Amino acid sequence: MASETPSYVVIGAGVHGLSTALHLARELRARNLGDGRDIVVLDKTDVAAGASGIACGVIRNNYFQPAMRELMEHSVSVWESDPKAFSYHSVGYIQAAPEVMHEGVAKIYEEQQQIGYPSILVEGTEDCSAYMRDIFFDWQAQGITCVLHEQRGGYANNVASMSGLAAKARAEGVEIRAGVTVTGFQMQGSSVSAVETSQGTVPCDQVVVAVGPWVRDLWAMLDLPDRIPVKGGEGQVQEKDMWTYWSLQEGTLEVDPGSLMDNRGDMPPVIHVDTDAPLHDDEGSLVTEQLWGIYYKPDFNFGGVQGGTTPYVVERPAAEVAVDPYGPASPDFVVGKEFAHMWTAALAHCHKRFVGKGHLFSKEPSGGIGCFTPDSFPVFDVFGDNAYVIADSNHGYKMIGVGALVAKELLGEQQSLLEPFRFARYEVGRLHPTSTSPFPWS
C-alpha cells in the first residue's frame, strides 16, 4: 500500500514516468532512503494510453548530435537489460542516405566508434547496393551513397513494453493510479507542495512531469512561459514558441510480416531510407522531387510492415490541438491519404516485393501528435525548487534510460548525460547541431 502522503509524485504512466518511478524506487532502496511505497504515479487514463502506447517502437543510436548519441547508447543498454520484459527485439538499425547526407552519416559513424557503439559504414553507390542486396534480394532504392548499419538497437512492442515496465515498478512497491487527471499545483513559495487532481489533492516533496505531448498544459500550470528567447549561432536572439505541435505520419501495410524477412530468413534490421531520388508511384506519377525519407520494419505486433515518414506542423492554434492528442477529441489527426500514397510508393521504390501493394495500406488510425521544443530536442530540468520536467520533444519511447538518470538527479546526483538538455541552453545559445535530414528530430 502506497503512503498516504508520497514523497514523490510522478505524472504520466508512459515510458518516462514509469522508468523514473522504477529506477527511483530502486535508488531509494539501495540508499536506505525508502522504497517504492514513497512514490505514486498518476495518469489521467492508464499505462501506455498516450504516446508510448502507439509508438512505432524504433530504438536507435542514429543521431547527428553527439549528446543524443551518448544518451541513446545508455538507453539501448537499458532496453538490453531485460529484452523479454520490455518486449525488445535487438535486430539492429540501418540508415541508407544520399550524397547530400554522406558527410553527416560518416561523422555519426566516426563518433559511434569513439563511444564504443558497434556499427558498419558502407560508402559508394555500388558498394551500398551490394550490401543492401545481401540483406534483401529485391533492394532497388536509388540515390544511396552511404549505409550506416548499427549492430545494436532495433524495436520493441509498444504496449507490451510499457506493461513490462509498469509491472517492474509495481513489484518495487510503486502505486500507479489510473483515471486521475491533474488540474493544478499548490505552491509554497517556489516549491510544489501538492498536486491537485480530479480525485483530490496529493501532497508531495517532489513532483516529476512526464506527460509526453501534454507537457504544454502542465508547463502552464507551473506558470512557465509559453514563449522564450532563443539565442542563435551568430548571437541573434529570437523569441519563439516553447511548444510546437507536429502531426506524426505512421502506418502499416497489411501484408504478412514474414514477407520482409532477410535473405537468410531472419528478422531484418529496422530500415531508414533518406534519398533525393525522384519518387514515383506505381502508375509512374511523380510523388516528390524533394529529399524524402521513410522508416519501416516487419512487425507482428502491428500485423504487417509498419513505419512512417516526416511529420508536418499542425497549422492551427496549439490550444485546440492538445485537448487530447491521442483520443477522440482529435480524429482529424490520423494518417491521411497523402501519407499513404507517399509511404507505399516509397516502400515500392526500395523493394520490388511492394510494387502494386499500395492498396493494402491499413485504414486504422496511427501516428498522433508530437510536442516539440524550439530546437526539437528534449528538455530535462528542475523548475522552481522541486518540479522536474521531462519534455522529450517526441524522442521519448526509445529513451527508456532517461528515467534512470532522472532518478539519480532527484536524489541530488547530477548526471552529465542530461546536462546538454537543460532549459538554460536556449538563453545562452548552447543549441544542438542540426543535420541535413528531412526529419525534425535528427
Looking at residue 332, the DSSP 8-state letter turns out to be G
Measured CA to CA, the distance from residue 4 to residue 356 in angstroms comes to 60
Which pLDDT does position 28 carry in this prediction? 97
CA pair distance 105, 109, nearest whole angstrom: 6
CA distance 19 to 129: 40
Of 3.30.9.10, 3.40.190.10, 3.30.70.1230, 1.50.10.100, the CATH number of 93-151+244-372 is 3.30.9.10
User: What distance in Å separates the CA atoms of residue 74 and residue 391, rounded to the nearest whole number?
Assistant: 18
**Phi-psi region for residue 171, left (φ > 0), alpha (ψ -120 to 50) or beta?**
alpha
Distance CA 350, CA 138 (A): 8
79 close to 19: Cβ distance less than 8 angstroms? no
The CATH topology of domain 1-89+155-226+377-433 is FAD/NAD(P)-binding domain (3.50.50)
**Grid cell at residue 155:** 524495436
Question: What integer pLDDT is reported at residue 369 of this predicted model?
Answer: 83
DSSP state of 139: B
Dist. CA 96–CA 112, nearest whole Å: 16
Segments in the chain below pLDDT 50? 1-3, 316-335
- The pLDDT value given to residue 329: 34
Strand pairing report for 244-253 and 368-372: antiparallel
What SS3 class is residue 397? coil
Helix/strand/coil for 421 = helix
User: What is the model's pLDDT at position 365?
Assistant: 60
Per-residue cell: 413: 546526483
Residue 313 CB neighbours (<10 A)? 11
Among 436, 438, 399, smallest CA distance to 153 is for: 399
Q: What is the pLDDT of residue 301?
A: 85
**pLDDT tens, 80-123?**
999 999 999 999 999 999 999 999 999 999 999 999 999 999 99
**DSSP label at 364?**
S
Start-end of CATH 3.30.9.10 domains in the chain: 93-151+244-372
- Region(s) of the chain under CATH 3.50.50.60: 1-89+155-226+377-433
For residue 103, the SS3 value is helix
pLDDT for the residue 417: 98
